[in-house]
Chain A
Amino acid sequence: EAGVAQSPRYKIIEKRQSVAFWCNPISGHATLYWYQQILGQGPKLLIQFQNNGVVDDSQLPKDRFSAERLKGVDSTLKIQPAKLEDSAVYLCASSFEVGANVLTFGAGSRLTVL
Chain B
Amino acid sequence: AQTVTQSQPEMSVQEAETVTLSCTYDTSESDYYLFWYKQPPSRQMILVIRQEAYKQQNATENRFSVNFQKAAKSFSLKISDSQLGDAAMYFCAYRRGLSGNTPLVFGKGTRLSVIA
Contacts and interface: CB of A to CB of B under 8 A. Distances in A.
Interface in B26-71: 33, 37, 42-47, 50
Interface stretch (A62-70, A78-86, A98-106): A98-106
B107 A42 contact: yes
Given A41-B109, A42-B107, A101-B33, A107 B101 contact: no
Given A41-B108, A42-B107, A31 B45 contact: no
B91 interface: yes
- Range of interface residues on B (Cβ < 8 Å): 20 to 34
Given A41-B108, A107-B42, A98 B103 contact: no
Tell me which of A31, A56, A103, A107 has the highest count of chain B C-beta atoms within 10 A of its own C-beta: A103
Given A97-B100, A107-B44, A110-B43, A102 B50 contact: yes
Interface of A: 30-31, 33, 40-45, 48, 50, 55-56, 89, 91, 93, 95-98, 101-108, 110
